């Protein structure tokens, strides 16, 4: 698949993922929801490997890639599923939109990508300001909302570190190989977490929870990760993170329309400031060039 369609596919999948995460945990614990999703996802990937007659490579760089990606999936997804108990799906997507900033900072250190400029620092400042507005709203909503926001930010940090780590290894694996290998690492960790902290199999699942788990397994875990690693293989890590600049707007609208989520004006304002900050972070230097020429 060429990069633009893959990029669009990831945007659409990631925009719907926060809401599906909330729905998948409706009649079961969040650990059951994420574990069932990843277990189904790895089975789908193994079937695709067999149908495409591909072989997973097991050389040193491949193993390092599977480990880096698998630990990232386990850590980031565990945190965001836990946080989804306390936050609206649209707000989760907005906070995850800070991924470009965190990824770029890590990529500058580990990959030697573009250094911070004054425009980027201005964007970081706006992002922090917007985050402050949203955290202020969390204080009004209660301690659980603040914990949920902290969980999403931890998930962002883990996801960004994993992406940069995979990019630094540079194994140039097929996206299906990366996804399957990563899930083979992550699934035992999810099963262990579920066994230690929950181990409860729900007697019944609502149809919405069931279909959400299936959707997340097929699209969020299998197809989504395959497209994501395909894009990551061809683009700078900080550019790939722009996906999370687009998805928050779609996720906010979807959460309102499909789940009746209502955000206060302060939360909307903080979300808008974060998105403007992210735009300045990525394109501020380009915007300044014409102004300098005047």
pTM of the predicted model, to two decimals?
0.83
Nearest alpha-carbon partner for 165 in 84, 103, 86: 103
Domain count, the chain: 1
In tens, the pLDDT along 165-217 reads 998 998 888 888 999 999 999 999 999 999 998 878 887 888 999 999 999 99
Residue 140: which residues within 8 A CB-CB, separation 6 or more? none
DSSP state of 219: I
Contact of 108 with 116, CB cutoff 8 Å: yes
Question: CB-side exposure of 130: number of CA atoms within 13 Å?
Answer: 24
Is residue 139 very low, low, confident or very high in pLDDT (cuts 50, 70, 90)? low
The Cα–Cα gap between 287 and 96 comes to: 25
Residue 85 buriedness (CB in 10 A; 0-12 / 13-18 / 19+): middle
Residue 293 has pLDDT above 60, yes or no: no
Is residue 104 very low, low, confident or very high in pLDDT (cuts 50, 70, 90)? confident
Quote the percentage of the chain above a pLDDT of 70.
88
Q: How many other CB atoms are found less than 10 A from the CB of residue 201?
A: 11
Contact of 180 with 56, CB cutoff 8 Å: yes
Average of per-residue pLDDT values in the chain: 84
Q: What is the pLDDT of residue 82?
A: 94
Find the domain containing 17 and state its range.
Answer: 3-293
What angle (nearest 5°) sits at the alpha carbon of residue 33, between those of residues 32 and 38? Answer: 95
Residue 112, Ramachandran bin (φ over 0: left; ψ between -120 and 50: alpha; else beta): left
Is residue 267 very low, low, confident or very high in pLDDT (cuts 50, 70, 90)? confident
Is residue 152 very low, low, confident or very high in pLDDT (cuts 50, 70, 90)? very high
Residue 2: which residues within 8 A CB-CB, separation 6 or more? none
Among the listed ranges 5-9, 43-47, 244-248, 284-288, which one has the minimum average pLDDT value? Answer: 284-288
Q: What is the pLDDT of residue 243?
A: 76
Residue 139: which residues within 8 A CB-CB, separation 6 or more? 145, 146
Residue 116 has pLDDT above 90, yes or no: no
In tens, the pLDDT along 215-249 reads 999 998 888 888 887 787 777 766 666 676 778 87
């Amino acid at each position: 698949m060429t990069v633009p369609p893959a990029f669009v596919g990831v945007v659409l999948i990631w925009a719907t993922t926060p809401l599906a995460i909330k729905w998948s945990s409706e009649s079961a614990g969040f650990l059951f929801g994420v574990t069932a999703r990843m277990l189904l996802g790895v089975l789908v990937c193994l079937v695709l490997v067999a149908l495409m007659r591909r072989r997973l490579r097991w050389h040193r760089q491949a193993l390092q890639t599977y480990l880096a990606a698998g630990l990232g999936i386990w850590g980031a997804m565990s945190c965001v599923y836990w946080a989804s108990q306390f936050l609206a799906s649209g707000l989760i997507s907005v906070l995850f939109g800070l991924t470009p900033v965190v990824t770029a900072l890590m990529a500058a250190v580990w990959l030697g990508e573009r250094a911070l400029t004054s425009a980027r620092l201005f964007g970081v400042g706006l992002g922090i300001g917007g985050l402050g507005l949203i955290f202020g709203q969390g204080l009004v909503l209660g301690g659980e909302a603040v914990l949920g926001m902290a969980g999403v930010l931890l998930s962002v940090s883990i996801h960004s570190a994993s992406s940069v780590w995979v990019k630094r290894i540079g194994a140039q694996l097929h996206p299906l190989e990366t996804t399957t290998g990563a899930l083979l690492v992550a699934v035992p960790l999810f099963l262990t977490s579920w066994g230690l902290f929950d181990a409860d199999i729900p007697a019944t699942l609502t149809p919405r929870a069931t279909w959400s788990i299936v959707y997340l397994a097929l699209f969020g875990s299998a197809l989504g990760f395959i497209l994501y690693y395909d894009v990551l293989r061809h683009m700078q890590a900080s550019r790939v993170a722009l996906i999370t600049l687009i998805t928050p707007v779609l996720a906010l609208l979807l959460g309102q329309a499909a789940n009746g989520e209502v955000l206060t004006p302060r939360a909307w304002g903080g979300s808008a400031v974060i998105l403007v900050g992210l735009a300045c972070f990525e394109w501020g230097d380009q915007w300044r060039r014409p102004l300098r020429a005047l």
